[in-house]
A and B are shown apart, each in its own frame.
Chain A
Amino acid sequence: MNTATTTPEQHGAEHHDHKPKGLMRWVLTTNHKDIGSLYLGFSFLMFLIGGAMAMVIRAELYQPGLQIVEPNFFNQMTTVHGLIMVFGAVMPAFTGLANWLIPMMIGAPDMALPRMNNWSFWILPMAFSILLASLFMEGGGPNFGWTFYAPLSTTYSPDSTALFVFAVHIMGISSILGAINVVVTIVNMRAPGMTYMKMPLFVWTWLITAFLLIAVMPVLAATVTMVLTDKYFGTSFFAAAGGGDPVLFQHIFWFFGHPEVYIMILPSFGIISAIIPTFSRKKLFGYSSMVYATASIALLSFLVWAHHMFTTGMPVAAELFFMYCTMLISVPTGVKVFNWVATMWRGSLTFEVPMLFAIAFIVLFTIGGFSGLMLAITPVDFQYHDTYFVVAHFHYVLVTGAIFSIMAAAYYWLPKWTGHMYHEGLGKLHFWASLISVNILFFPMHFLGLAGMPRRVPDYALQFADFNQLVSIGGFAFGLSQLIFLVVVIKCARGGKPAPAKPWEGAEGLEWEMPSPAPYHSHTTPPIVK
Chain B
Amino acid sequence: MHKLISVAVLSAMSFLATASGGSPFNLTTGVTDISHRVYDLHMTILYICIAIGVVVFGVMFYAIIKHRKSKGATAAQFHESTKVEIIWTIIPFVILVTMAIPATSTLIEMEDNSQSDITIKITASQWKWHYQYFEHDFGFFSLLSTPSEQISNQAQKSENYLLEVDKPLVIPTGKKVRFLITADDVIHSWWVPAFAVKQDANPGFINEAWTRVNEPGIYRGQCAELCGKNHGFMPIVVKVLPQNEYDAWLKEQLAQVEVAKQAETKALASTLTYEESMTLGKQVYLARCAMCHQPNGQGIPGAFPPIKNSPMALNDKQAHIDIVLHGKAGTAMQAFSNQLTAKEIATVITYERNAWGNDTKDVIQVSEIINREVK
Contacts and interface: CB of A to CB of B under 8 A. Distances in A.
Given A320-B107, A458-B232, A461-B161, A313 B42 contact: no
A382 B196 contact: yes
Contacts of A143: 228-229
Contacts of A155: 185-186, 330-331
A319 B56 CA distance: 30
Interface in A399-431: none
A489 B89 CA distance: 40
Contact of A246 (B162, B203, B228, B331): B203
Interface residues of A, number: 100
A248 B74 CA distance: 57
A451 B161 contact: no
A211 interface: no
Interface stretch (A30-38, A202-210, A343-351, A519-527): A343-351
Interface stretch (A106-114, A366-374, A432-440): A366-374
B208 interface: yes
A316 B193 CA distance: 21
B186 A285 contact: no
Interface stretch (A42-50, A60-68, A166-174, A471-479): A60-68
B67 A347 contact: yes
B205 A462 contact: no
B141 interface: no
B187 A246 contact: yes
B225 to A, nearest CB: 6
Contacts of A461: 160-163
A457 B222 CA distance: 10
A385 B60 CA distance: 32
Contact of A311 (B26, B160, B199, B229): B199
Contacts of B75: 280-282, 346-348, 506
Nearest to A231: B330
A152 interface: yes
Contacts of A261: none
A152 B153 CA distance: 29
A467 interface: yes
Nearest to B52: A370
* Listed residue (B67, B152, B332) with the most chain A CB atoms within 10 angstroms of its CB: B67
Nearest to B70: A350
B172 interface: no
Contacts of A451: 23-28
Interface in A3-28: none
Nearest to B194: A452
Nearest to A369: B49
B204 interface: yes
Interface string A327-347: 110110011011001111111
A155 B329 CA distance: 10
A163 B153 CA distance: 35
Interface string A167-203: 0000000000000000000000000000000000000
A151 B63 contact: no
Nearest to A144: B226
A502 interface: no
Interface string A57-82: 00000001111000110010000000
Contacts of B199: 311, 313
B4 interface: no
Given A345-B63, A346-B78, A348-B73, 19 more contacts: A65-B152, A65-B153, A72-B300, A139-B301, A140-B303, A311-B189, A311-B224, A316-B108, A341-B56, A362-B60, A363-B60, A370-B52, A380-B103, A382-B38, A447-B24, A451-B26, A454-B232, A459-B232, A463-B24
21 contacts: A64-B157, A66-B151, A138-B301, A139-B303, A140-B303, A152-B186, A281-B69, A285-B79, A311-B198, A338-B88, A345-B76, A348-B67, A348-B68, A349-B73, A379-B38, A380-B45, A450-B26, A450-B27, A454-B232, A459-B151, A461-B163
Interface of A: 64-67, 71-72, 75, 137-140, 143-145, 149, 151-152, 155-156, 158-160, 239-241, 245-247, 280-289, 311-313, 316, 319-320, 323-324, 327-328, 330-331, 334-335, 337-338, 341-351, 359, 362-363, 366-367, 370, 373-374, 377-380, 382-383, 385-387, 447, 450-452, 454-464, 466-467, 506
